[in-house]
Every structure is written in structure tokens, then in C-alpha cells.
Amino acid sequence: MDTSTKKLNVGFIGLGIMGQSMAGHILAAGHALCVYNRTRSKAEGLLAKGAVWKDSPGEVAAASDIVITIVGYPKDVEEIYLAPGGILERAREGAVLIDMTTSSPALARRIAEAAAERGLSALDAPVSGGDIGAREGKLAIMVGGSEQAFEFAMQLFQVMGSAIAHLGDAGAGQHTKMANQIAIASNMMAVCESLRYAEAAGLDRTRVLSVIATGAASSFLLNGLGPKIIADDYSPGFFVHHFVKDMTIALSEAESMGLDLPGLALARGLYQKLVDGGFGEDGTQALYRVYAELTGGGDAV
């Protein structure tokens, strides 16, 4: 079916830091939107703009041509899709189900298989870009599942993201997101080590950043989160505890493939120190707290 101009009945489940903006773009594009979130207050802004509240994920599925989910953990994904009365049980015939949570590739394949048995299509489509990417509609969207379902959902992907790719069968989107998180993990360590070194050397970190951010060291994380580190701004664009979850999934997948990823293992251990220290709801740039503790400067974890 050509959906390039067709307005759809869209269900959206999960209205966190990123989900609220993503759902808002869909509503602004003229699609009918129904929503569910464990905390209803997070939906109030969307409801004021015309979204319709539903009392459960199953009720969202029953009212939607496309269901989009972006929740916290694989256990949450499993519950809303596979539990009695959940999305798979109540979805309309022919519906497309899109999980945009960063979750387990194995779970993505399991959901896709269960969906196919009911005449449904399921895509795993995790995203990267954090709160800013979600707010600006410039997320990177990595998709696994059938090509036909991907094409059906494309007009929605296009209002949420600017880099959209179909990577293969079910689970491929999640595997790609694992590769993304592995790259971020070591890059965040490098950013923190660089700025901690500059601080210990008595340099003006803002001036250092203005120079190195234009050369070979330039990166999204250095340029985007470096200034926040210097300002002691650890507000979340992406929660530390969610990043630990992602790295744990990636390490498990790597082990199953016989891979040793020492950089990822080190990063996960350092970030776990933040969670253990009560900083799990900080942004990922809060890793600098750990380096400050390890090297005798700044706030201890």
C-alpha cells in the first residue's frame, strides 16, 4: 500500500525524554494519534494538542494501523508485546508494530515471529540522537524487519529522523544500535579523559575544547557534551542507567559471538560506578564524575 500521503491511525507507547518529541512530530504531521504511558501526566501536552489517551498498550494496539513503542528495558518490551491482552494479542489484522526501544536482538526476532503468526509485521527500529535529535526530528533510525513493513512505515520515520536505514531482517536494527553504543562507550571515555587531562594540566578547558574540537579529535560527543562537562551540567539527554542496560546487552551479544570487547567492558564498569553512586538518572556525560574521583578532582562518585 502506498502510504506516502495517507494519514494513519498511529498508536504511541512510551512518552519519556525522547518519546514525547517523537510522538509530537507524528501528531504535527496530521496523523491521528493515541497514546499510553505509565505516568499519564507525561501525556498531557500531547492530549492538549489532540492526541487521545488509551488505558493500556492493548487498547492502543486495537485502535492503530501502526503501533510505535519506546520504553525502558527489554523486560518492558516483552511485557507490553507478549503479555495477555498486550499489543500482539489485540493488534488489528495487518498492523505494523515498531519497537524503537534499544533492546535485545533475540527479543526482536521473537516478537517478529510471533507477529507473523498473527498476520502482523514487526520492525525493530532503535534510534540514536538523544533528546536533541528527538526534539529536532533528526534521529538516526536503524531498522530490522521486512522491507514491505519498512516502506509502509517510512512516512512516520521521516518525521522523526533524518538518517533512516533498513539493515536487514528482524534483529538487525538492534544489532546496529549495539554497534552504535559500543562506539559511544569508548568515545565517552576518551572525551572525559581528554578534558580531565586538560584540567589537571591547569589549562582553560573551554579554550582547549575550542581548538581540539576542530581537528581530528572532533566528534559529536566532544563537541556536544564537552561544553556540558565543563559547565558541570549533567542533565540527561540519555540516562546513564539506560546506557548501562545497552552496554550489558551488547556485551552479552558479543560473548555469544565469541568476541572480546575490552573497551566496552571497561566503559560498562565505569558507568556502573555512577549507577551505584546514585547518578543513574544523570546524562552520559556524567562519566566525568568518575574520572574526577579517580584522579583526585571534582565531586566524588
**Residues 6+ positions from 218 with CB-CB distance below 8 Å:** 212
The DSSP result for 198-230, as a single string, is: HHHTT--HHHHHHHHTTSTT--HHHHHHHHHHH
- Residue 154, classified by CB atoms within 10 Å of its CB into exposed (0-12), middle (13-18) or buried (19+), is middle
Q: Please list the active-site residues.
A: 177
Determine phi and psi for 67, rounding to 5 degrees. -115, 125
d(CA 288, CA 270): 10
What are the backbone dihedrals phi and psi of residue 7, each rounded to the nearest 5 degrees, phi first?
Answer: -85, 135
